[in-house]
Structure 1
Amino acid sequence: MKRLFAAALLCTALAAPAFAQTAAPAPVTSAAPATDWTVKPEWISAHVRFLAGPELQGRGSATRDEAIAAAYVAARFQGYGLQPVPGTDGYLQKVKVIRPRLDGEPKLVVGGKMIAGAKLLFGGAERVEGVATLYMGDDGAELPAGDVILAGGPRLSTMAALRATRGRKTKLLVLRESDETQKLWSRLGERPRLDAYLASQAPEDGVSVVVLPAAAFDRAAKAAGKPVTMTLPGLVREEVETTNAIGYLPGTDPKAGVILLAAHVDHLGVQPGGTVMYGANDDASGVAAVLELAHALSSGKRHKRGILFAAFGAEEMGGFGSRAFAAAPPVPLGDIVANLAFEMIGAQDPKLPAGTMMITGFERSTLGPALVERGALVAKDPYPEQNFFARSDNYQLALRGVVAHTISGWAVTPTYHSPQDTIANLDIPFMTRAVQSLIGPVRWLAEGDYRPDWTPGGKPGE
């Protein structure tokens, strides 16, 4: 029965190249306030069971399964009485993305000599050139500047080194193989994570990361100060399509602004070897939260402010659903009063007070404290070193000035990006209570004139 339903939803999802043709429901009308709305755990569970069930095979970014999941969300939006965004003709937005893949091995030349055994972890540039700078320390924060960095410290963190290249002109980071790089290669499915980009935009310049076997790295290190060239002769660029589902609850005052509640609908899909990454927590749980907030907030009288509800596609591939939304928003970005994204709310973090979730970048704006004052079960992010604020869909809005944060449960849960991220490992009662706690605060935000502000230095880029 679920397979037939999924097929029917897919027909809806693929009905049009931009926004799918879907008849708009009647406008939302005033009614008695829903003061006693109760979120039911079976509603939460039903959403997650469909989205993270075996039929959708992990909802891989820009796949048929992701499109089915987005169509399910769109159908729920329409069923709750949401409308398409004004100026569009449906609930589904199709976004074209260029996704590179590498058919072959990278070729690395250091000091005029070919270095064998290179494995590309991250990147996308077809050709990189520069002069080698050697760093054998263990502190990523002390990574030197340069076009090409050879980093071989025995205790150097790969991710710390990569973070250290941000904001610099580093083109290539060459690492000495370690247990950490081997585990990372395995987590990537033993294939490089290449930089995709929106078909409507030029590709961004990013850093490429290569790992060399220990002996090969030691040979390359002797050529410090000499030219380095890396090429990807087997690079193929293919165009794929991701899907956003967007619903709109209009407000009574068009000048009062709009609130955006969002999550990402995709996950990692089927990995090499046939392993399914179900993505129940990441991020079917967040989508369930958005759906049940839409269910609750559409149940009573119209609010002063409009509310946009979105399920973005291709977050795992680089946040391309939210990138497309931010690049061509269906409402002016200046009209978006605040954005709350929901990411991995399916488990309680033992570092947080019992029953609460965290808000990434809590201290960056006045939004989090205001929600707490109104009863939201949220708290500060206990992992500031992880920079979660910049690692979810909220960041694309924040970069453009919108006060935007992500609400998460246990961001470092052991099931993260693993086949064990299934509904069996979710805490449905916790999720239910958490979503319930947000209805009143979000309704307050939608009813009043309060507009959150960035705190000094909190806005990205300041």
Structure 2
Amino acid sequence: MYFRTATALVCFLLITGQQPAHSFDSPQTKTTAATASLEREVHADMNFLADDELHGRGSATRDEHIAALFAASQLQTLGLEPGGDNGTYIQKAALPSPLSPQLQQRLSKFENTPRTETWNAIGILRGTAAPEEVLLLSAHLDHLGVAADDKGDSIYNGADDDASGTTAVLTLAHLLASGKRPRRTIVFALFGSEEMGGFGNRAFLSHPPIPLPEIVANLEFEMIGRPDSSVPAGTLWLTGFTRSNLGPELARHGAHLVNDPHPKELFFQRSDNYALARQGIIAHTISSFGLHHDYHKPSDELRTIDFTHMTNAIASMIAPIRWLADSNFKPQWNPGGNPGQPPPDSKH
């Protein structure tokens, strides 16, 4: 089911006009008709991406390709410019042959299926006054697939990881493309094969649809399907929050973002944002992963998703992202925050 333009525009106007000051889980947000409509659309995308019929969207499998085509079809329906190969919305990349022994060992736990290519889905909303300044919104559309051992539930549906992030990017594309065209260009990218080592992201960096130096900021969406009890209710957290001034500035403009409460997990380095950050691009991941026990297990299913939390989380980011897309603000790394440069006190 596609998000009809009129519905998207109404949701955008109503939700952004009712942003609570303290939490996106406030009663005011939960009861709006616009949010109810938005939640139905979130359900629709999640129901497709995390259904058993997609067999866990295994990295570089037929099912990852189907997920990429699903995303691409939505980006095309919205009238976005194609960012893929040969005027399409799909970017295809060959995998190394043979795969490394370490990767082969990891894949041996899952169904033996050909893994020779990966696919990204990319759409571009061209800016008006500053089209050469780009905001990249991204997520990874793959997951682990099907276990080789068929005892019990063998499908790794990846509802939270990362059907939730993919749905967030598609929903934001629907809403932002339905409103007034932004000052800056927004690229919506869904990466393949993140779970195998970021091969889709590597393809994007090797053959970017826009020059990499034009990317002002990247926001990756990863695992927002459930709230994290480690942070205040109605908030999301941003990896590498103190590395740049992007998070604090988004928070000043209404984003319910706080610092990553799990620094020992090194989440800043564990999503597709990190490869972009290594190129010097201001790139962070938005999440609410609370280290739940369903991570990378077949139990990461739709029944575990808190759809009210997820819908309100997505809605809460519309106005801050719109502000960033319409502003002159260019985020900067804080001293020592750029992973593409050695720390100031390094001798290397």
- Same fold by TM-score, threshold 0.5 exceeded? yes
**Whole-Å separation in 2 of the counterparts to 1:190 and 1:330:** 34
Greater strand share, structure number: 1
Whether contact under 8 Å (2:216, 2:330) holds in the other structure is yes
Instruction: Give the structure 2 partner of residue 180 of structure 1.
Output: none
Instruction: Give the structure 2 partner of residue 358 of structure 1.
Output: 237
Instruction: Give the structure 2 partner of residue 314 of structure 1.
Output: 193
Whether contact under 8 Å (1:32, 1:301) holds in the other structure is no
Whether contact under 8 Å (2:217, 2:283) holds in the other structure is yes
With over 3 angstroms needed to count, the CA separation of the structure-2 counterparts of 1:364 and 1:379, relative to structure 1, is same
Is residue 243 from structure 1 mapped to residue 119 from structure 2 by the alignment? yes
Q: Say which SS state the counterpart of residue 98 (structure 1) adopts.
A: coil
Instruction: Give the structure 2 partner of residue 267 of structure 1.
Output: 143
With over 3 angstroms needed to count, the CA separation of the structure-2 counterparts of 1:101 and 1:366, relative to structure 1, is closer
Amino acid at match of 1:262: S
**Whole-Å separation in 1 of the counterparts to 2:11 and 2:193:** 36
Please give the per-residue CA displacement for 1:199-220, whole angstroms capped at 9, x wherever unaligned: xxxxxxxxxxxxxxxxxxxxxx
| Per-residue deviation, 1:36 | 2.6
Give the alignment partner of residue 71 of structure 1, picking from 69, 84, 91: 69
**Whole-Å separation in 1 of the counterparts to 2:84 and 2:303:** 39
Give the alignment partner of residue 58 of structure 1, picking from 37, 53, 56: 56
**Whole-Å separation in 1 of the counterparts to 2:71 and 2:97:** 25
Is residue 279 from structure 1 mapped to residue 158 from structure 2 by the alignment? yes
| Per-residue deviation, 1:81 | 2.3
**Whole-Å separation in 2 of the counterparts to 1:87 and 1:53:** 28
Whether contact under 8 Å (2:160, 2:224) holds in the other structure is yes
**Whole-Å separation in 1 of the counterparts to 2:79 and 2:115:** 34
Give the alignment partner of residue 207 of structure 2, picking from 307, 312, 328: 328
**Whole-Å separation in 2 of the counterparts to 1:189 and 1:257:** 39
**Whole-Å separation in 1 of the counterparts to 2:304 and 2:190:** 22
Amino acid at match of 2:40: E
Q: Say which SS state the counterpart of residue 405 (structure 1) adopts.
A: strand
Please give the per-residue CA displacement for 1:301-357, whole angstroms capped at 9, x wherever unaligned: 111101000110000000111111112211111100000000010011110110111
Pairing 1:88-127 to 2, within 5 Å after superposition: 88-98=86-96, 100=98, 122=102
List alignment gaps of at least 5 residues for structure 1: 3-30, 103-119, 125-184, 193-237
Q: Say which SS state the counterpart of residue 74 (structure 2) adopts.
A: helix
Instruction: Give the structure 1 partner of residue 286 of structure 2.
Output: 407
| Per-residue deviation, 1:411 | 4.7
Q: Say which SS state the counterpart of residue 429 (structure 1) adopts.
A: helix
| Per-residue deviation, 1:87 | 8.4
Amino acid at match of 1:397: L
Instruction: Give the structure 1 partner of residue 13 of structure 2.
Output: 35
Whether contact under 8 Å (1:256, 1:449) holds in the other structure is no
Whether contact under 8 Å (1:189, 1:271) holds in the other structure is no
Whether contact under 8 Å (2:50, 2:163) holds in the other structure is yes
Instruction: Give the structure 2 partner of residue 444 of structure 1.
Output: 323
Amino acid at match of 1:67: H
Please give the per-residue CA displacement for 1:213-260, whole angstroms capped at 9, x wherever unaligned: xxxxxxxxxxxxxxxxxxxxxxxxx86000000001011034550100
**Whole-Å separation in 2 of the counterparts to 1:123 and 1:344:** 23
| Per-residue deviation, 1:403 | 0.1
Amino acid at match of 1:64: R
Whether contact under 8 Å (2:194, 2:201) holds in the other structure is yes
How many equivalent residue pairs? 308
Whether contact under 8 Å (1:282, 1:344) holds in the other structure is yes
Whether contact under 8 Å (1:96, 1:239) holds in the other structure is no
| Per-residue deviation, 1:34 | 5.1
**Whole-Å separation in 1 of the counterparts to 2:99 and 2:167:** 32
Instruction: Give the structure 2 partner of residue 231 of structure 1.
Output: none
With over 3 angstroms needed to count, the CA separation of the structure-2 counterparts of 1:349 and 1:306, relative to structure 1, is same
Please give the per-residue CA displacement for 1:119-148, whole angstroms capped at 9, x wherever unaligned: x8x478xxxxxxxxxxxxxxxxxxxxxxxx
With over 3 angstroms needed to count, the CA separation of the structure-2 counterparts of 1:86 and 1:123, relative to structure 1, is closer
Greater helix share, structure number: 2
Larger radius of gyration: 1
Give the alignment partner of residue 265 of structure 2, picking from 386, 399, 413: 386
Q: Say which SS state the counterpart of residue 248 (structure 1) adopts.
A: strand
| Per-residue deviation, 1:100 | 4.3
Pairing 1:151-230 to 2, within 5 Å after superposition: 191=109
TM-score relative to the length of structure 1: 0.63
Q: Say which SS state the counterpart of residue 56 (structure 2) adopts.
A: coil
Instruction: Give the structure 2 partner of residue 430 of structure 1.
Output: 309
CA RMSD in angstroms comes to: 2.4
> 82-91 or 310-319, which moves further after superposition?
82-91
List alignment gaps of at least 5 residues for structure 2: 2-8, 16-33, 343-348
| Per-residue deviation, 1:35 | 3.2
